[in-house]
Each structure stands twice: as C-alpha cells, then as structure tokens.
C-alpha cells in the first residue's frame, strides 16, 4: 500500500498537466485555433464598444444638424454624416448595443424554450414527442425571415416585437438539437441505473440529461447570435424592427439606400459593422464546435 501511494504521488508530480480540468483543456485547444481567437477578439471588441458607447461616441446618436448633412468622412466626423446631419460613427457605436442586445436575448429566449421542449420530446416521447416534433417541422417549413415578418406583422413593428419574433423562429433549431441529444443520452447505462434505483425523472433530467446536453446548446447559441443579428437587421431594413431615431444598423441601411451613389459611406459603415459582428460570432462558434464536439476532434 505504501508503494502504491508513493507511485501515485510521483505520477501527480511528474505529470501535473494530466490532472488539468476539461475546461482548461478546452481553452488550450481553443487558443490553438487562430481564427477562433480572431472571432473572440472581434466579439469582445464590439461588446466593449457597446458598454462604453457614451464614452466613445463623440456625438449623440440622435443629434441632427442639417447644415452638415451627407458630409464625407473627415477628422470631425470619422464615418461622415447621414441625411439628417447625424454622426454615423456615433450611431454605429450606439447601434452595437441594440444589435448585441437583440442577439443575446433573442437567443437566450429561444435556447431556454427550445431546450425545455426538446427535453420533454426526447425524454418522455410518445404523443408529446409527436406533437412537439410536428410543430417544429411546421415552423421549419417556412423561411425564417418570412415567419419573423408574420410574427412582427401580428404584434406590430418595434424592436421588442422583432426580438420576440427572432426568438420564436429559432426555437425549433434548439428543440430538435436537444431532442436528438436527449434520445442518445437517455440510452446510456448510467441513466438506466439511475432509473433502476428509483431516481425521479426531475433529478435525472437536472443531474444527468441536461449537463450532458449542454455542449451542442453552447455551440448552437454562439452561431445563433450571428443569425439573430442578421435577422434583426433584415427586419429593421424592412421597417418592422427598430423605429427612428433608433440607431439600429439595419434601419440605418434602409434610411441610406437612396444615397448609394451620392454618399456611399452612409451604407458602407453600417454594413461593415454587421459583417464584422456576424463574422466574429461565426468564427468563435466554429472554434467552440471544434473544441467541444468530439466528432470534430482530430
């Protein structure tokens, strides 16, 4: 026994890295992916901009000065001005708050509801699975933006209703993903053992099913934020999302489309902000998928 204890102590000293937590190992693997780190850097950059918007923006996002309308980018107005003389840089900085707010909370709502429905369908099965799965199929039969437009048309055009619509149309994506994971996990031997000893379904779901289903949820959430930002911009462009004078990027594109030739910067910079934000979340999401999904590991 003394010799075994000695050997164990020596192993722990010689190979301390072998005891690293899965979280640390995942972070090390993530850091090896340069594109994923670039995506993380872009996301952090826009989050900082959104938080410090009042400090960073040199002007108010709704301050109008018609004598300075459609000015080209300069040292006074870095990104130029729009058709009301408002500083485009300030509006883009404040617009980061709106886009990230819609992205995060829309995905949070769809992830929570989708996870609950997916767990119920996958774990309990039978008629519950049939009803929930067929509902998901019906929702997925419509183009997502068309379904979002229908929801906003019913609720009325506003940023809050656009958020609700985006959350609703993304529920099936999370629901089907979680359902398939639950169907796989509940066949594991430790789940059968938990049932055999009389463990309640609620404890099995909270202690075993959900923790082992979180990986695909995290990855899907990261990628879904990028999609939600695009959908919010699309609804804003169509006049169904944020309303004037809100500096939402899609709304800025819609207000400036008639000045494409006369003042192309009014469209270029909001479009660039949307592209970079979506790119950042997509790169980060791909990196998380490579790290967290065992099938993607080499």
What's the pTM? 0.84
For 4-13, 104-113, 157-166, 254-263, which range has the lowest pLDDT when averaged over its residues? 4-13
pLDDT of residue 292: 77
CB 191 within 8 A of CB 204: yes
Residue carrying the six token digits 């164990």? 8
**Cβ atoms of 229 and 281 closer than 8 Å:** yes
Over residues 5-27, the mean pLDDT reads: 54
Q: Compute the distance between CA of residue 296 and CA of residue 215 in angstroms, rounded to an integer.
A: 13
Decide if 152 contacts 165 (C-beta within 8 A). yes
Residue 8 has pLDDT above 70, yes or no: no
Instruction: Show Cβ contacts of residue 118 under 8 Å, excluding neighbours closer than 6 positions.
Output: 132, 174, 175, 176, 177, 178, 179, 181, 182
3-state secondary structure 99-166: HHHHHHHHHHHHHHHHHHHHHHHHHHCHHHHHHHHHHHHHHHCCCHHHHHHHHHHHHCCCHHHHHHHH
Q: Provide the pLDDT confidence category of residue 20 given band limits of 50, 70 and 90.
A: low
Contacts of 195 (CB under 8 A, 6+ apart): 204
Query: What confidence score (pLDDT) does residue 294 get?
Result: 54
What is the model's pLDDT at position 271?
A: 92
Query: What is the DSSP secondary-structure string of 202-224?
Result: HHHIIIIITGGGHHHHHHHHHHH
């Amino acid at each position: 026994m003394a010799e075994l204890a000695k050997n164990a102590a020596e192993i722990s000293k010689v190979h301390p890295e072998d005891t690293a937590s899965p979280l640390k190992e995942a972070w090390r693997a993530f850091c090896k992916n340069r594109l994923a780190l670039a995506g993380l850097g872009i996301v952090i950059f826009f989050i900082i901009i959104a938080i410090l918007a009042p400090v960073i923006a040199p002007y108010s996002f709704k301050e109008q000065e018609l004598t300075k309308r459609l000015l080209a980018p300069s040292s006074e107005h870095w990104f130029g001005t729009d058709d009301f003389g408002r500083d485009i840089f300030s509006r883009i900085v404040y617009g980061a708050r709106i886009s990230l707010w819609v992205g995060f909370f829309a995905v949070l709502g769809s992830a929570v509801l989708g996870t609950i429905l997916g767990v119920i369908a996958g774990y309990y099965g039978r008629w519950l699975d049939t009803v929930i799965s067929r509902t998901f199929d019906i929702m997925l039969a419509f183009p997502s933006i068309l379904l979002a437009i229908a929801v906003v048309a019913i609720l009325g055009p506003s940023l809050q209703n656009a958020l609700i619509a985006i959350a609703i149309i993304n529920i099936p994506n999370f629901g089907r993903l979680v359902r398939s994971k639950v169907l796989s996990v509940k066949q594991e031997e430790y789940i059968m053992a938990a049932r055999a000893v009389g463990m309640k379904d609620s404890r099995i779901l909270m202690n075993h099913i959900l923790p082992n289903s979180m990986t695909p949820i995290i990855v899907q959430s990261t990628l879904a934020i990028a999609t939600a930002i695009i959908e919010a911009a699309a609804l804003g462009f169509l006049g169904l999302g944020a309303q004037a004078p809100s500096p939402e990027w899609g709304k800025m594109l819609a207000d400036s489309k008639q000045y494409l030739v006369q003042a192309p910067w009014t469209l270029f910079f909001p479009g660039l902000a949307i592209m970079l934000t979506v790119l950042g979340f997509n790169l980060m999401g791909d990196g998380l998928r490579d790290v967290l999904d065992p099938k993607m590991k080499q």
